[in-house]
């Protein structure tokens, strides 16, 4: 064989191998740099996700995140369901409900427990929750966490859903609905809470009266958790770093979060006073099987039972299938 042909053949083969290696490495790099698309609404309890985004914590941990912020909670849920998003920050009860309706989701992180951040504001002449009998109450959406919150609140005060009229009013439109006489009371949170109280409306009840009902979580599509578990873990690790930043540099954190949420730092601070944010160890404890309400297993069974009793779901939900404890357990 001609030596030149051998040399040329060797060069061609080497080049092809090199191209193959380069292509493989490029494809691997491309896959690892695929964006994680998240969506959230205006809620102080998981606003530290904005810190992770704005301060580059996601990138520091090797994950590309596109974080969308919308004002109203129902809009956020609808946008998530319309596609294009891998995960959303929302209420645990809604994750349970969505799973029961055929949208496979996995909870990977607890942002906070609402311990007063969610409130019912009312006309000033309504003295107690029991006085809501015959009244019209605004909730975010039927069959949502807002609905469950009101159902449990009514039950604790000797009322049932048939004793009141519930209408769908987004949380940040509750004040307008009170002013116009559409509702007598409504479920909301900051900044609408402070605005309503400043106009003379009454703080009738809070989520501190219904422990375990409103837990705010980060949930991903089941397929994303199964196929990109390391990216999901990096997102959660970044959120923990952001939570610590809020604790250690509150003024800077409030400035960053309030600008993106379009609320004042004071309103954001007031909202955070009504939530209990969990650190990494608290998350790991909450993902441990237990009948206690602090556990996602215990609170999940409790919420599911409320859904069943009120006909919101027809079959029990397998809570274990909704939880992905391996995500937080894999973070050191």
Question: Could you read off the pLDDT of 139-164 as tens digits, one per residue?
Answer: 998 888 899 899 989 999 999 999 99
Euclidean distance between CA atoms 98 and 216, whole angstroms: 15
Report the relative pairing of strands 202-206 and 119-122 from DSSP bridges.
antiparallel
**Distances 16 to 9, 10, 13, 27 between C-alpha atoms, Å:** 11, 10, 5, 16
Per-residue model confidence (pLDDT) at position 225 = 98
In the β-sheet with 65-70, what is the strand arrangement from edge to edge?
65-70, 36-41, 87-91, 215-221, 105-114, 275-277
15 CA to centre of own chain: 50
Q: What is the pLDDT of residue 30?
A: 42
Asked whether the CA dihedral 109, 329, 296, 323 is positive or negative, the reply is positive
In CATH terms, the fold of domain 119-209 is D-Maltodextrin-Binding Protein; domain 2 (3.40.190)
Is residue 20 scored above 90 in pLDDT? no
Q: Kindly report which listed range (83-87, 111-115, 141-145) carries the lowest average pLDDT score.
A: 141-145
Omega into 221 within 30° of 0, i.e. cis?
no
CATH topology (fold) of 33-113+215-329: D-Maltodextrin-Binding Protein; domain 2 (3.40.190)
Q: Tell whether the model's pLDDT for residue 272 goes beyond 80.
A: yes
Q: Is the pLDDT of residue 183 over 90?
A: yes
Q: What is the Cα gyration radius of the chain? A: 24
DSSP 161-188: GGGSEEEE--GGGHHHHHHTTS-SEEEE
Report helix, strand or coil for 332.
coil
Share of residues in the chain with pLDDT > 70 (%): 90
**Could you tell me what percent of the chain has a pLDDT over 90?**
75
Q: Where in the chain is the domain with CATH 3.40.190.10?
A: 33-113+215-329, 119-209
């Amino acid at each position: 064989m001609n030596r030149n042909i051998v040399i040329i053949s060797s060069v061609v083969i080497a080049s092809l191998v090199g191209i193959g290696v380069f292509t493989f490495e490029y494809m691997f790099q491309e896959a690892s740099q695929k964006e994680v698309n998240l969506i959230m609404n205006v809620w102080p309890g998981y606003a530290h996700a904005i810190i992770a985004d704005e301060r580059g914590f996601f990138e520091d941990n090797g994950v590309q995140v596109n974080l969308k912020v919308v004002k109203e909670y129902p809009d956020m849920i609808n946008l998530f369901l319309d596609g294009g998003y891998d995960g959303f920050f929302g209420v645990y009860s809604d994750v349970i409900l969505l799973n029961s309706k055929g949208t496979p989701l996995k909870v990977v992180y607890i942002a906070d427990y609402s311990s007063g951040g969610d409130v019912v504001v009312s006309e000033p002449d309504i003295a107690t929750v029991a006085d809501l009998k015959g009244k019209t109450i605004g909730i975010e959406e039927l069959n949502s966490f807002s609905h469950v919150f009101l159902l449990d609140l009514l039950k604790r005060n000797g009322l049932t859903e048939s004793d009141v009229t519930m209408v769908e009013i987004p949380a940040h439109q509750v004040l307008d609905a009170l002013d116009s006489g559409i509702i007598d009371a409504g479920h909301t949170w900051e900044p609408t809470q402070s605005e309503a109280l400043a106009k003379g409306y009454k703080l009738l009840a809070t989520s501190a009266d219904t422990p375990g009902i409103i837990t705010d979580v980060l949930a991903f599509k089941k397929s994303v958790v199964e196929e990109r578990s390391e990216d999901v873990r990096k997102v959660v690790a970044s959120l923990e770093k952001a939570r610590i930043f809020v604790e250690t540099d509150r003024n800077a954190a409030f400035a960053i979060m309030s600008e993106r949420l379009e609320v004042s730092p004071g309103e954001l601070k007031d909202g955070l006073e009504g939530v209990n944010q969990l650190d990494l160890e608290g998350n790991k404890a909450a993902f441990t099987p237990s009948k206690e309400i602090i556990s996602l297993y215990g609170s999940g069974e409790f919420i599911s039972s409320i859904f069943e009793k009120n006909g919101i779901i027809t079959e029990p939900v397998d809570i274990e299938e909704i939880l992905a404890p391996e995500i937080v357990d894999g973070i050191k």
